[in-house]
Amino acid sequence: MELRQLRYFVAVAEERNFGRAAQRLHLSQPPLSTQIKALEEELGTTLLERSTRRVALTDAGRAFLGRAREILAAVEEAGAEARGAAEGNRGRLAIGFVSSATLSLLPTALGIFRERYPGVDLDLQELASGEQVDALYEGRIEAGLVRLPMRSPEIHFEPLLEEPMIVALPSGHALEGRKSLSVRDIAPLPLIFFQRRLEPGSHAQIVELLATVGALPRVAQYAVHLQTVIGLVASGMGIALLAESSGNLHREGVVYRKLRAAGARSTLGLARLDREDSLLVDRFREILREVARRDFRRWTAPTGGNGKSP
């Protein structure tokens, strides 16, 4: 069965006349009749009742007409999807993101993207940075917002937004009265920490910060998602070192203080496969960079580098 046979059948069924259907299709009547006959033979049933005066649909023809229209509409839609995807304004885009991204770039970027490209379906998946690497390799996402630095074969990491780090303290903590804290102030305190496998960049950065004062992390509890980290801080289990945008997550029982330390900055970046060649990913990336430049001028948006780490 060929698509042209479906088109021919639909034309005859709608015109109720082979001559008018042939004119509509811009072909002569004999090949039209031949193709309809071949379609009926393949289906093993008569679709049209023919007479010298008119053409009428059989019961089988009426049933087949509806499905034929659906198939042709689906083929047309598939073509439109393909053309739209090639132009970067139709299709589906799967994006992974760390939870902290929802407090900085992501909400505004999504709003702009939906406004500019309403024909694109977004599939958003909240994943830890390490989980996003696996999802990229497996094709479950096309790009991801991760915490840098990270390194993985065949994955390009591009820094987007670099922000200062802050300290989350339980309300009533002995250090709450200070406006800012040093690494030496917090080194002895129990820490709500990120698992290295899931957040390798944040894990390494905090270990390096503590090493500047000769300390190792005193891990009170491991956690992955930001809401869990803040909840554990509120419970008094420990403190947490976070990106400054995390302070936008207000929670009773938690206060935030600045961290005084050279290099105490957290970088949000975009991860994508080196071989990924997608206009949709490119357009999402440009919107992220636009939002970073426009709405987060107080933080430094890094540029340059080889893309493997900031």
Please count the structural domains in the chain.
3
Task: From first to last of the 310 residues of the chain, give the pLDDT tens digit.
Answer: 889 999 999 999 999 989 889 999 999 999 999 999 999 999 999 999 987 678 899 999 999 999 999 999 999 888 877 777 666 666 899 999 999 999 999 999 999 999 999 999 999 999 999 999 999 999 999 999 999 999 999 999 999 999 999 999 999 999 999 999 999 999 999 999 988 899 999 999 999 999 999 999 999 999 988 999 999 999 999 999 999 999 999 999 999 999 999 889 999 999 999 987 889 999 999 999 999 998 887 775 554 444 443 3
The answer to whether residues 121 and 70 belong to one domain is no
pLDDT of residue 195: 87
CATH of the domain at 96: 3.40.190.10
The answer to whether residues 24 and 82 belong to one domain is yes
Q: Is the pTM of this model over 0.95?
A: no
The answer to whether residues 231 and 257 belong to one domain is yes
Indicate whether 302 belongs to any domain: no
The answer to whether residues 119 and 152 belong to one domain is yes
Indicate whether 310 belongs to any domain: no
Q: Three-state SS string across 41-57, please?
A: HHHCCCCEEECCCCEEE
Note down the domain range covering 132. Answer: 91-159+267-295
